[in-house]
Amino acid sequence: MATIHGDITGIRKSILKRLETLYEFEISRNEIITLDLAQVLLSISDQIQREIAIYLNRHGRVTSVAVGDIRTVGLPELNGRRGQNRLSGIRCIHTHPNSSSALSELDIASLREMHFDLIAALSTGPEGKIDASYAYITKIIEDETDIHYIGPVNLDEFIKTDFTALLLSVDHRAELMNTVHIAEKESALLAGIEQTKTEDIRLSLDELEQLAQTAGAIVVGKVWQKRDRPDPVYYLGRGKIEEIKFLRQTKQANMIIFDDELSPTQQRNLEESLGIKVLDRTALILDIFAQRARSYEGKLQVALAQMRYNLPRLGGQGLVLSRLGGGIGTRGPGETKLEIDRRRIRSRIAEIEKAIEELKQQRTLHRQRRQNEQKIAVALVGYTNAGKSTLLNALTAAGVMAEDKLFATLDPTTRRAVLPDGQEILITDTVGFIQKLPHQLIAAFRATLEEVVQSDLLIHVVDAAHPGYQRQTEAVFQVLKELQADTKPVITAFNKIDSIDSPYQLERLLRQDNSVGISALSGQGIERLLQMVQEYLYTNKQQQKRELLLPYDQSGLLATLYKNAAVHKVQYCPEGIRVIVSLPLAMIDFYQTYVLQGDE
């Protein structure tokens, strides 16, 4: 029998029965509580004029129902769940009959004490309006807890809160606490290896500097060394390491960033030898992504990439997991702490992978819905800062943030654009690429990058004014290859031609097939670019021109054609509506029965 905890004296049997039904509610993982459950809870509470609390686990099941003061109720499932630095995985939602939903000091104290995922109070106002207030822990270290308090808000707003996203902002701190972060205005040295041309290492370190600045650091010096390959122990030679030790002091640097991904061993050795924070290019890029991720999906993807990066590096000096105390009951005899940490991160990785997979399926559904509209999908790809978002804005007035910063865009945006012949197409702007893009990130961003993989045509935006545009182009192709999107048709848009002084240089660029010079900023060349997209659609038989005769009882089809195809001419005749139209390939079969004559 479902137990009702707390003081149930004087409560009628019929009410107890209603209380028991609270155990039967099931809610999805993303919800804090559902409307029905909240309403039933409050209606019983208002009826008996006592507090009622329900406790839910992360699977969305009600694990306990209690009547009365929540602090006096001993709950079996909470015993032993409260790990030292962890949340309990249980949230408490209770009522405040006849008073405001504002959380009391005692509510907050029990949140601190029990390490609930969240505590919320609901109350019915004078006009029957339901309010909610809630609080959750944002940081637990030893005995210190930081709490975030919200409310009162109306019930609708409370119900709409994405619980998984909320937890993500809190619970992952534990796993990510050991990720090296860059603080604002930290002084950094940069170091790299010159394998080919001096010019290349300079450009590469310039880019690393831009990345470091984007992350908030100030670059105080750069060093590099000519080598065929990195030293397996220190990445650079011993002499260079001594030089860096000296530089570190004179420049007062508190971290050093290496231009390649370091092996866990190299990283440990360097930390020991240099005595400052050691980062590599991958960790730096991950840190920028972590700072910039806004959407739930973006945050999940970055967290996944960071954990995968951290896993083999656990136990490194800078990454000692001393604060990650194992939860009570998780520590078996003879197990080392490191193993526990590894296991915990692995299970966390599995959880996030599952959540991302769910999102990917949602994305696929959205995309299928769009494909049903049978519009041509074009994806903007290119090196970070090439001007993709600016171009999307120029093409569609999308209002996407464009900035002179690396990785300004992480989440894809899809908008409609209109070709010169009047037909609508879909254009997607997405995350920019970079050389040595961490493979953990490509893997983690697969769901997002699927927009590129599934598009009909790519517009490759190149910053033609950048001295390293050729290397950037190579890097873009490499990522496209990794995504298996390198065989897609491409139009190259050489952007920022307003900043190119030499007409000769532009002319040389445009010798490339299917290329166009544009300025996304001034709008120059944009019309020509759209023209090229349209020509591509025609010449590749993605579209065919047809003359149709629609019977008057099917005149609804005309609206569909206006929306999804390029309608050139419409004539209302006695026998029906004559339409000359360019049909996307996918629509041709459907309209076959109405065809008068085609262009073939």
Ligand X SMILES: Nc1nc2c(ncn2[C@@H]2O[C@H](COP(=O)(O)OP(=O)(O)OP(=O)(O)O)[C@@H](O)[C@H]2O)c(=O)[nH]1
Sequence-separated contacts (24+) of 333-341 with Cβ below 8 Å? 338/314, 341/314
Region from 105-113, 209-217, 381-389, 498-506 binding Mg ion, contact rule CB under 5 A: 381-389
Rounded to a whole number of angstroms, the minimum distance from the CB of residue 168 to ligand X is 23
Neighbours of 585 (CB within 10 A): 15
* Structure-token pair, residue 471: 């290397």
DSSP state of 383: B
The H-or-E segment that residue 537 falls in is helix 526-539
How many angstroms from the chain centroid is the CA of residue 100? 37
Helix axes 388-396, 526-539, angle to 10 degrees: 80
Q: Do residues 432 and 388 lie in contact, with contact meaning Cβ atoms separated by under 8 Å?
A: yes
Residue 423 in the binding site for Mg ion (CB under 5 A): no
Q: Which is nearer to ligand X, 143 or 404 (CB)?
A: 404
**Among 45, 389, 543, 582, which residue sits at the site for ligand X (rule: CB under 6 A)?**
389
C-alpha distances out from residue 480 to 214, 413, 448, 473, 511, Å: 25, 19, 13, 11, 23
Rounded to a whole number of angstroms, the minimum distance from the CB of residue 211 to ligand X is 11
Binding to ligand X by CB under 6 A, coded x per residue (else -) over 478-517, reads -----------------xx-xx------------------
Region from 176-184, 234-242, 519-527, 560-568 binding ligand X, contact rule CB under 6 A: 519-527
Rounded to a whole number of angstroms, the minimum distance from the CB of residue 402 to ligand X is 3
Residue 194 in the binding site for ligand X (CB under 6 A): no
**Among 89, 230, 327, 387, which residue sits at the site for ligand X (rule: CB under 6 A)?**
387
Question: Considering only residues 539-558, where is the footprint of ligand X by CB under 6 A?
Answer: none
Q: Which is nearer to ligand X, 151 or 468 (CB)?
A: 468
Rounded to a whole number of angstroms, the minimum distance from the CB of residue 356 to ligand X is 21
Q: Which residues contact 553 (CB under 8 A, 6 or more apart)?
A: none
Q: Do residues 90 and 126 lie in contact, with contact meaning Cβ atoms separated by under 8 Å?
A: no
How far is Cα 379 from Cα 381, in angstroms, rounded to an integer? 6
**Among 408, 417, 464, 530, which residue sits at the site for Mg ion (rule: CB under 5 A)?**
408
Q: Which is nearer to ligand X, 172 or 496 (CB)?
A: 496
How far is Cα 182 from Cα 433, in angstroms, rounded to an integer? 21
Strands 52-57 and 62-67, bridge-based pairing: antiparallel
Phi and psi of 523, rounded to 5°? 95, -5
**Among 406, 458, 550, 587, which residue sits at the site for ligand X (rule: CB under 6 A)?**
406
Rounded to a whole number of angstroms, the minimum distance from the CB of residue 403 to Mg ion is 8
Rounded to a whole number of angstroms, the minimum distance from the CB of residue 402 to Mg ion is 6
Rounded to a whole number of angstroms, the minimum distance from the CB of residue 165 to Mg ion is 23
Phi and psi of 96, rounded to 5°? -120, 85
Region from 181-189, 226-234, 268-276, 388-396 binding Mg ion, contact rule CB under 5 A: 388-396
Give the residue at shortest CB distance from ligand X. Answer: 432
Region from 16-24, 68-76, 252-260, 387-395 binding Mg ion, contact rule CB under 5 A: 387-395
| Burial class for 566, CB neighbours closer than 10 Å (0-12, 13-18, 19+) | buried
* Structure-token pair, residue 317: 């000096």
The H-or-E segment that residue 136 falls in is strand 130-141
Phi and psi of 166, rounded to 5°? -60, -45
Residue 407 binding result from Mg ion, ligand X, none, given CB thresholds of 5 to 8 Å by partner type: ligand X
Helix axes 337-372, 446-453, angle to 10 degrees: 30
| Burial class for 589, CB neighbours closer than 10 Å (0-12, 13-18, 19+) | exposed
Q: Which is nearer to ligand X, 271 or 463 (CB)?
A: 463
Phi and psi of 99, rounded to 5°? -150, 180
**Among 52, 314, 408, 425, which residue sits at the site for ligand X (rule: CB under 6 A)?**
408
How far is Cα 286 from Cα 292, in angstroms, rounded to an integer? 10
Residue 440 in the binding site for ligand X (CB under 6 A): no
Rounded to a whole number of angstroms, the minimum distance from the CB of residue 407 to Mg ion is 8
Question: Considering only residues 141-170, where is the footprint of ligand X by CB under 6 A?
Answer: none
**Among 282, 389, 534, 582, which residue sits at the site for Mg ion (rule: CB under 5 A)?**
389
Going across the sheet that includes 543-550, the strands are 566-573, 576-584, 543-550, 595-598
Rounded to a whole number of angstroms, the minimum distance from the CB of residue 69 to ligand X is 53
Q: Which is nearer to Mg ion, 291 or 542 (CB)?
A: 291
Residue 519 in the binding site for ligand X (CB under 6 A): yes
Rounded to a whole number of angstroms, the minimum distance from the CB of residue 454 to ligand X is 20
How far is Cα 396 from Cα 389, in angstroms, rounded to an integer? 10
**Among 50, 81, 388, 546, which residue sits at the site for ligand X (rule: CB under 6 A)?**
388
* Structure-token pair, residue 168: 């993500």
Rounded to a whole number of angstroms, the minimum distance from the CB of residue 401 to Mg ion is 7
Rounded to a whole number of angstroms, the minimum distance from the CB of residue 510 to ligand X is 15
Residue 402 in the binding site for ligand X (CB under 6 A): yes
Q: Do residues 577 and 557 lie in contact, with contact meaning Cβ atoms separated by under 8 Å?
A: no
Q: Do residues 464 and 509 lie in contact, with contact meaning Cβ atoms separated by under 8 Å?
A: yes
Q: Which is nearer to ligand X, 361 or 499 (CB)?
A: 499
**Among 124, 225, 409, 543, which residue sits at the site for Mg ion (rule: CB under 5 A)?**
409
Residue 459 in the binding site for Mg ion (CB under 5 A): no
Query: How big is the site for ligand X, counted in residues (CB under 6 A)?
Result: 23
**Amino acid symbol at 233:** V
Residue 520 in the binding site for ligand X (CB under 6 A): yes
Rounded to a whole number of angstroms, the minimum distance from the CB of residue 525 to ligand X is 9
Question: Considering only residues 414-433, where is the footprint of ligand X by CB under 6 A?
Answer: 432
Give the residue at shortest CB distance from Mg ion. Answer: 409
How far is Cα 568 from Cα 93, in angstroms, rounded to an integer? 61
The H-or-E segment that residue 248 falls in is helix 238-251
Q: Which is nearer to Mg ion, 409 or 515 (CB)?
A: 409
Residue 204 in the binding site for Mg ion (CB under 5 A): no
Residue 170 in the binding site for Mg ion (CB under 5 A): no
* Structure-token pair, residue 600: 């073939």
Positions that interact with ligand X (CB under 6 A): 382, 384-390, 402-404, 406-409, 432, 495-496, 498-499, 519-521
Positions that interact with Mg ion (CB under 5 A): 388-389, 408-409
